[in-house]
Structure 1
Amino acid sequence: MTHSLYSAAEFRRRAAAQALTVHPDSWRENGDAKLNPSTIPHVEGMKLKDAAVLVAAIDEGDDARLIFTQRNATLRKHSGQVAFPGGAVDEADRDMEAAAAREAEEEIGLDRRLVEPVGRLPDYMALSGFRITPVLAVVQPGFSLTLNPDEVESVFEVPLSFLMNPANHETGSGVWLGTERHYYRMPYQGRDIWGITAGIVRVIYERLYA
């Protein structure tokens, strides 16, 4: 059975297939690490906290949509930025999938029973001090959301076809610890998807669709 390239069914198939090739050093090979190889030794010397984010594809039509949040401007870290739902892993979380689903439920009210994990990407080693596991998932449409105003300002969706088109992947740069660092940007309808979140999207493109 064939599926439309950007459907949730095809996303599920590709996510599961690439997950078989994830190994401990895979994070070096894609996205921001590939864009900034000089940061790899620094990150390897850091003590990182475990976190998980939910990359949720809505299963509707031939073009699935990914769910993003706009973080509250008052947060201590990554305030006001576009992000995937997620956060630090708790001791009670049985695995990264459970952590990502719990965080999404706490942040935006997405019922974790509706979340179908379909794979993981390599961990993202963030210079802000986190080892982030992106959990790829499929969510059926028709859900309702209740945002936690302390963490999330708004939620929006972006078509997978837009995100997986490399023509929409811009790059920018800034100075970090005296060194120029490059990052991806994917502006969409007035929203600035950049930094860690855009880096994760880029890894999805490189591992699933390139």
Structure 2
Amino acid sequence: MNQTKPLHEGFSARAFARRVALKGSETLGEDHGDHRLNPDLDAVIAANPLRDAAVLIPIVDRGDEASVILTLRTVHMRKHSGQVAFPGGAIDPEDDYEPEKAALREAHEEIGLEGRHVELLGRLPRYLTTTGYSIIPVLGLVHPPFDLTPNPDEVADVFEVPLSFLMNPANHRRESRMWQDKERFYYTIPFGDRFIWGVTAGIIRTLYERLYS
């Protein structure tokens, strides 16, 4: 007898949306962030005011295999220069202090993604950073066809990574380096010649733990 596969299985955009819907009635849970792998950073984060920010996690509908849009920040950016990142930035008064508005605005400013192509699904827990941000990751499905125009002042490149690759824990590496005379741990997710690490890898790991683990 043939068995029907649950609607949330697989890595299509719609399967992703159904996973989000299944979690929709649950609380977002505790904050994630740099302190999750380094508990002593709680005090460092708490010692300074955090600026509210939002990023868009753009899940592109590519049929059976959805992909995720990521950017490579230019090397002259003040923070996180040269790193792989989600489109996003600070939540401004013009956004009415709403993370969704900020995420969509930043995605349009950074990569030219128009909001009419994005179907908002929900949020992940806040991600707190030692660089002074409290980030709300906003989940959105991106419906083709769409055109992207990277802002050369902020974005050196735009590329897509299969959702199935990012949600495979075998591709998540826990690494460390010395910072202020202490060993600090963080996730990395190498993808071809791209090296995803830091906040972006941490948010991807949060997405995996929230929806797939």
TM-score, normalised with respect to structure 1: 0.93
Q: Which amino acid is the alignment partner of residue 62 of structure 1?
A: D
Whole-angstrom distance in 2 between the partners of 1:3 and 1:14: 5
Superposition pairs of residues 39-50 of structure 1, within 5 angstroms:
39-50=41-52
1:108 paired to 2:101: no
1:5 paired to 2:10: yes
Q: 2:34·2:41 contact (CA, 8 Å) conserved in 1?
A: no
Whole-angstrom distance in 1 between the partners of 2:184 and 2:47: 18
1:36 paired to 2:38: yes
TM-score, normalised with respect to structure 2: 0.92
Superposition pairs of residues 155-194 of structure 1, within 5 angstroms:
155-194=158-197
The DSSP-based 3-state class of the residue aligned with 2:188 is: strand
Pick from 141, 150, 155: which aligns with 1:152? 155
**1:117 CA displacement:** 1.1
Q: Which amino acid is the alignment partner of residue 162 of structure 1?
A: F
Whole-angstrom distance in 1 between the partners of 2:24 and 2:57: 14
1:129 paired to 2:132: yes
Whole-angstrom distance in 2 between the partners of 1:12 and 1:147: 26
Q: 2:117·2:144 contact (CA, 8 Å) conserved in 1?
A: no
Pick from 16, 19, 23: which aligns with 2:21? 16
Moved more, 35-44 or 178-187: 35-44
Whole-angstrom distance in 1 between the partners of 2:164 and 2:176: 25
CA separation of 1:205/1:32 partners in 2, compared to 1, >3 Å: closer, same or farther?
farther
**1:3 CA displacement:** 4.8
CA RMSD between the two structures: 1.6
The DSSP-based 3-state class of the residue aligned with 1:6 is: coil
Moved more, 176-185 or 104-113: 176-185
Structure 2 runs not aligned, ≥5 long: 1-5
Whole-angstrom distance in 2 between the partners of 1:27 and 1:109: 30
Q: 1:52·1:99 contact (CA, 8 Å) conserved in 2?
A: yes
Q: 1:52·1:132 contact (CA, 8 Å) conserved in 2?
A: yes
Whole-angstrom distance in 2 between the partners of 1:16 and 1:33: 28
Aligned residue pairs: how many? 207
